Amino acid sequence: MATTALVLSAAALSGPAQAGPADDPANWRKVDAENLLQFTVNGKEILIELRPDIAPVHVAQVRKIVRDGNYDKTPFHRVIDKFMAQGGDVYSVYQVYPRYPNMPGEFNWQRDPSVQKVQWFGLTPQGDKIGYLDGFIVQGQPDEVAMISDPPVARTWAIHCQGIASMARSRSPDSASTEFYLMRAPRVGPDSPLDKNYTVWGRALTGLDTILGIKLGPPENDGRFVNNNQADKLTKAMIAADIPEAKRPTVYVRRTDGPEFAATLAAIAINDPIQACALPPVDVIVERPTP
C-alpha cells in the first residue's frame, strides 16, 4: 500500500520524508497503533501517544472509554489560556451505568533503568535528573539509586510540558475517572501543583495548534463554561488500531537514544524543568495510506 508522509519538527517543516523511518529503526521508533489515540476537534486531528508503561491503569481506562464511544461529542468544559483544556466529562453527555471506576493515582513510577533507559541531560538544584524517555520529558532519581535498591528501580515522573495529556481529579488523589486535560502551556517545577500530583498518561505528537485553538472558557468563571453547548467538542476519539487500515495513520518518533540525536542531546545542559519544556519537540513523521 502506498503512503504519503508528513514530517513534523521543531521548525514546523512539512513535506516528503527524506528517508523511510521504517527502514531506520536505530533513529526512529514506530508508535504501536494500540497506543496511538486520535482525537478530532474542530474538524482537525490530534494524535496522542498513550504510555501504559507509565500509567497502566489510566491508559486501560482511557482505551475503554474511547472504545465505548463515550468520549465522542463531549465538551471541553473548562479551558484556561496559558494552562490547559479540560474535557472528558462523559456524564454530562451520556447516562453511563455503572460509572467508570475511580482510579488510584499513578503520579510516578518505579523505573528499572535496564529496561526504561532515560537520556539524562540535566540536574535540578533539588538533585533530580531531567531527561528524555521516548520524547517525553521526565524527571526523577538518578539511575544510581536503582543500583543500591532492591528491587533495582528509581522513582520517575513525566512532567507537565505543553502537549501533555493528564487526568483530572478532585481533591482526593485516587478520584480520577474520565475527565482529562491537555496542556496548552507548561506547569512544571518545584512549585507546580501538577507534577507528581496528577497522572500523565500521554503526549500529543501532533495537533498542538488544534489544542491551542480550543475555545477559551470565561476567565471570570475559572475557564468553565456555564453552558456546555458553547464549548468546543471532542467530536470523535479512536484508538488507531481500530481505524481501518486504509485510513490509519502510522506514526514514527525520532529516537532520543539514536545516533542521529546524539549531537542534539550532547548540546543540552539544563537544570530547570521549565527550560526543559521549552526545548524543541522531538521530530515526528506521520505516514498515511494513499488510494
pLDDT tens-digit readout, 146-201: 999 999 999 999 999 999 999 999 999 999 999 999 999 999 988 889 999 999 99
pLDDT of residue 9: 56
Q: What values do phi and psi take at 169, rounded to 5? A: -160, 175
Give 4's pLDDT tier (boundaries 50, 70, 90): low
Q: Which residues contact 154 (CB under 8 A, 6 or more apart)?
A: 110, 111, 113, 140, 141, 142, 143, 145, 146
pLDDT of residue 16: 44
Are residues 273 and 188 in contact, defined by beta-carbon separation less than 8 angstroms? yes
Q: Which residues contact 199 (CB under 8 A, 6 or more apart)?
A: 55, 58, 103, 105, 106, 107, 166, 167, 176
pLDDT of residue 3: 59
CATH fold of 3-289: Cyclophilin (2.40.100)
Q: Which three cell numbers stand for residue 79?
A: 479551558
Gyration radius of the chain over CA positions = 19
Q: Which residues contact 153 (CB under 8 A, 6 or more apart)?
A: 110, 111, 112, 146
Q: Which three cell numbers stand for residue 66?
A: 474511547
Tell me the CB-side half-sphere exposure of residue 254, using CA atoms within 13 A.
Answer: 19
Residue for grid cell 513523521: 285
Query: How many Å apart are CA 257 and CA 199, to the nearest integer?
Result: 25
Query: How many Å apart are CA 37 and CA 71, to the nearest integer?
Result: 12
How many CB atoms are located within 10 Å of the residue 97 CB?
Answer: 6
Bridge partner residues of 38 (DSSP):
47, 238
Better-scored residue on pLDDT, 20 or 134: 134
This prediction's pTM: 0.93
pLDDT of residue 130: 97
Query: How many Å apart are CA 253 and CA 195, to the nearest integer?
Result: 24
pLDDT of residue 14: 35
Instruction: Give the model confidence (pLDDT) of 78-116 as tens digits.
Output: 999 999 999 999 999 998 889 999 999 999 999 999 999
Could you give the residue ranges of the DSSP H alpha helices within 37-172? Answer: 56-68, 143-147
Does the pLDDT value for residue 13 go beyond 60? no
pLDDT of residue 152: 96
Length of the chain: 291
